[in-house]
Amino acid sequence: PEEITALVRKHLEGVFATFGSANDMEVNTDGEGALAFGGNPEDRNFLAAARANECVYGVVPDFVRSGGSIPVALTMQDTGRSVVLLPVGRNDDGHHGQNEKIDLNNFICGIKLLAAYVTEFALSAAQLPAPVSQTQARPRRGCARFMSGFKCECGDC
């Protein structure tokens, strides 16, 4: 972010100097920006999200680096987890502003996108070899604390 800030400041000052204005210009930032989020476009999450995007919006997605206002995405990625951000809003939605909004069409398409993503992700899992824990699964003892299919804290299920 510091390098980008310096480049933007240099550009703005250079453009302002060409105006020959008697006014002064000062470029300030209102804090430190977060690094842009970027993941592996060949990752299972990204591939499922790309197929879901094509299904809902009918276009191949552009993989752009974004998420500067979502620093937790970088934090999760730094732990080694795969993170993908799904496009739901528009650029004019006023993100984080007092007049933030989302169009009804984007809201509905966002629901469709999430459903398509989960479906595509599940289908991609069916093509992977089963994890060792599933191939060597122990019989469930029927712990009443959790529903069937979920692990409980006792470790015996």
First to last CA, the chain: 48
Nearest to 127 by CA among 58, 60, 46, 44: 44
Residue 37 DSSP class: B
One digit per residue, the tens of pLDDT, for the chain of length 157 reads 678 888 999 999 999 999 999 999 998 887 766 676 777 888 888 899 999 999 999 988 887 766 666 778 778 888 888 888 887 888 788 877 888 899 999 999 999 999 999 999 999 887 765 544 444 444 444 444 444 444 555 555 4
| Spatial contact of 117 and 49, defined as CB atoms under 8 Å apart | yes
User: How far from chain centre, in Å, is Cα 52?
Assistant: 14
Q: Which residue in the block uniquely carries the two structure tokens 């299920």?
A: 157
| pLDDT score of 79 | 85
Residue 136, C-beta contacts closer than 8 angstroms, at least 6 positions apart: none
Q: Is the pTM of this model over 0.75?
A: no
Tell me the three state secondary structure of residue 137.
coil
The phi-psi region of residue 80 (left if phi > 0; otherwise alpha if psi is between -120 and 50; otherwise beta) is: left
Beta bridge partners of 66: 37
| pLDDT score of 147 | 42
| Spatial contact of 25 and 10, defined as CB atoms under 8 Å apart | no
| pLDDT score of 125 | 80
- In degrees, rounded to 5, the angle at the alpha carbon of residue 43 between the alpha carbons of residues 103 and 89 is 10
